[in-house]
Amino acid sequence: MKTPSHDLPSESAQSSLHDVLSDAIRFWEPRRIVYNAALALVVLVWAAIDWARIHAGITLESLLAVLVLAVLANICYCAAYLVEVPVQWSAYRALWRQKRRLLWGFGTLLALALTNYWIADEILPALIH
């Protein structure tokens, strides 16, 4: 069933690319700091829990691997823009702007789960060998 156009907000029709990108950056980039801090906290907790094994495995190669993983985590964070920009141009812009915190929350929880997985199942076992 087609929704009558008078039921949809018209705010998105007047939104320029500049407005949409500015709004997206204002929302997502301050939260990137919290996202990175949360991931760093997970790494620090794992380091505190298993410092002996981690300390023995610290090499230039392992530090570069951690750097690559941090960059990949931030590239994944940028995936939010792939959702943000098209939705902001849709008729659901106002609703999206109210609910996009949910995407940030779920994405951050997924990143925390993946970080725990990589440390527990990939990084720590590699340090044993």
- What is d(CA 87, CA 65) in angstroms, rounded to the nearest whole number? 35
Q: Is residue 8 predicted with pLDDT exceeding 60?
A: no
List Cβ neighbours of 92 (8 Å cut-off, separation of 6 or more).
8, 9, 12
Paired tokens of 17: 């690319």
Which pLDDT score, from 0 to 100, does residue 14 have? Answer: 63
Encode burial over 62-76: b for 16+ CB neighbours within 10 A, e otherwise.
eeeeeeebeeebeee
pTM over 0.85: no
* pLDDT tens-digit map of 66-83: 899 999 999 999 999 999
